[in-house]
Structure 1
């Protein structure tokens, strides 16, 4: 059986999307938010299912969901409205091929056995499409509200990784088990260092979810990752505003750029040459309607990287 990580990196490079599927960071999006009475940074999710189905049909490789349990206006962004595992279960039911990733579940504020059960359930219900991105979290306000120790999140993270790795078999009294059992080991990708040493991360994680950056940034980061993790997958993200004119030149900003599809293709090729193996596109700054943007990328960009000889087999259910 092909693993989710093997599917993610089939052909050496792939392109996905980062939710929420809305362009609420644009002037028009913000105007719509005010009209609808949504919180600042709260995306419009009325089209999310249709857009997820469209992304699936067009061949985007993965759809990444953030884990933000509480809306904190001091961060200026809700980022993710639905509970992450509930949302993944829903998306598993409305899509067929696209991988479903978390970027990333904050382990130390969660109940470990329920995290395992939720992840195993998504893995089974989706047909083995789960990519479990994990992190230690960076919002101190959340920890006391969940009865967790912010300063102790480093040890808590390691303990939860150990439990996820053995399916809780070494953490329960004899005769007890967490069902469903995992059909294959849960693929664990880390966002940041999760308060751990690079050596520990490289030895214990299956992949890297790196912060956005330029190709030069990633060339340095990939080298550091390879030094501790060998050939384990390295992924990152781009905040993209895809211009209508195909040859509009790139204008960089923090975490991404505005430009036409030719600039996007050039950037993705540069990232691939730097050693990045997967890129998720974040479209909240995208001015154009997202369905048009996804179709253009699906028609003109994905074929440059998702070639027929690297076509994916049907997922096992």
Structure 2
């Protein structure tokens, strides 16, 4: 197993990352600024993105997760981190040193498979093995006609792309032809959802599962299902968080997460760890406080609870 992957997600491990964009544009403060700047809902403020990514790296977070949203669709209302996924990961690889770089997740049916393989290998090489390649079949029907892809065939496209990524092109190329860079140890392949496949196929073919946000009870049930098909392969999820200033504020429900102080956050993360979750990517767009302030508080008070043995 990739040593970075083992350190982050090996058996018995638990770690915390951040989901990009690092902006609080879904909060009341962020909404006010967004309207002032004439940005549509779901389009974040990226002026501090590089500084905040570097802060996350030096503060001890284990992964930065980026999403693959080719087209901004107001009906979905989320442009993610705006930048093209692999281009942005190349940039992040150059300005960070230790943090893993994950995709959650690349929409395989909308990408030419050979170029996806070359892009992934390039990022993994440039980052010295820090890529976590999350993949999916996609869920925004409006995008598929634009890319000349039949939405109903996305499952078949997903399977063939996974086969190529796992093989690193071996057996698919004419004699004497190579795809460079070649990685002797490919990036871990993680799946968001089921990619229009059976759970059995996913458990056999993928190196880990990116599960949708949920309660500890929901994750306990999902982890049990994942263990049946994926064995001890990593189970990863995400949590929407508004970390308030009062450290003793109880955690109150927020869609896909919660709003509360750092002590209740520690309790919530402990619940997820006990449920079998091995990594949590925190989503901070609901944050009522500056993102840098939240990152620094978690680095000082929350990460040490979970990362000392990672």
Coordinate RMSD, CA, aligned:
1.1
Alignment partner, residue 51 of structure 2: 50
Q: CA deviation at 1:9?
A: 1.9
Secondary structure of 1:218's counterpart equals helix
Q: CA deviation at 1:4?
A: 3.4
8 Å Cα contact 2:15/2:280 also seen in 1 = yes
Alignment partner, residue 168 of structure 2: 167
8 Å Cα contact 1:117/1:178 also seen in 2 = yes
Q: CA deviation at 1:253?
A: 2.0
Does residue 13 of structure 2 align to residue 20 of structure 1?
Answer: no
Does residue 124 of structure 2 align to residue 109 of structure 1?
Answer: no
Q: CA deviation at 1:80?
A: 2.5
Secondary structure of 2:104's counterpart equals strand
8 Å Cα contact 1:124/1:183 also seen in 2 = no
Alignment partner, residue 315 of structure 1: none
Alignment partner, residue 264 of structure 1: 265
Aligned mates of 1:76, 1:110 — CA distance in 2? 22
Aligned mates of 2:282, 2:214 — CA distance in 1? 13
Q: CA deviation at 1:199?
A: 0.2
Aligned mates of 1:25, 1:220 — CA distance in 2? 30
Equivalent residue runs for 1:11-90 within 5 Å: 12-90=13-91
Aligned mates of 1:2, 1:119 — CA distance in 2? 15
Residues 149-171 of structure 1, C-alpha deviation per residue, up to 9 Å, x if partnerless? 11111111010000001111222
Aligned mates of 1:101, 1:7 — CA distance in 2? 15
Alignment partner, residue 177 of structure 1: 178
Alignment partner, residue 9 of structure 1: 9
Residues 184-228 of structure 1, C-alpha deviation per residue, up to 9 Å, x if partnerless? 122100000010000000000000000001100000000000000
Identify the range of structure 1 (72-81 vs 56-65) with the bigger mean alpha-carbon deviation.
72-81
Equivalent residue runs for 1:195-206 within 5 Å: 195-206=196-207
Residues 77-100 of structure 1, C-alpha deviation per residue, up to 9 Å, x if partnerless? 112300000000000000000000
Q: CA deviation at 1:28?
A: 1.2
Aligned mates of 2:81, 2:64 — CA distance in 1? 13
Identify the range of structure 1 (125-134 vs 72-81) with the bigger mean alpha-carbon deviation.
72-81
Does residue 183 of structure 2 align to residue 144 of structure 1?
Answer: no
Alignment partner, residue 212 of structure 2: 211
Alignment partner, residue 314 of structure 1: none
Alignment partner, residue 305 of structure 2: 304
TM-score, with length taken from structure 2: 0.98
Give unpaired runs (5+ residues) of structure 2.
none
Does residue 217 of structure 2 align to residue 224 of structure 1?
Answer: no
Alignment partner, residue 313 of structure 1: none
Aligned mates of 2:136, 2:39 — CA distance in 1? 28
Alignment partner, residue 121 of structure 2: 120
Aligned mates of 1:185, 1:283 — CA distance in 2? 30
8 Å Cα contact 1:4/1:187 also seen in 2 = no
8 Å Cα contact 2:19/2:66 also seen in 1 = yes
Aligned mates of 1:230, 1:245 — CA distance in 2? 40
Q: CA deviation at 1:113?
A: 0.5
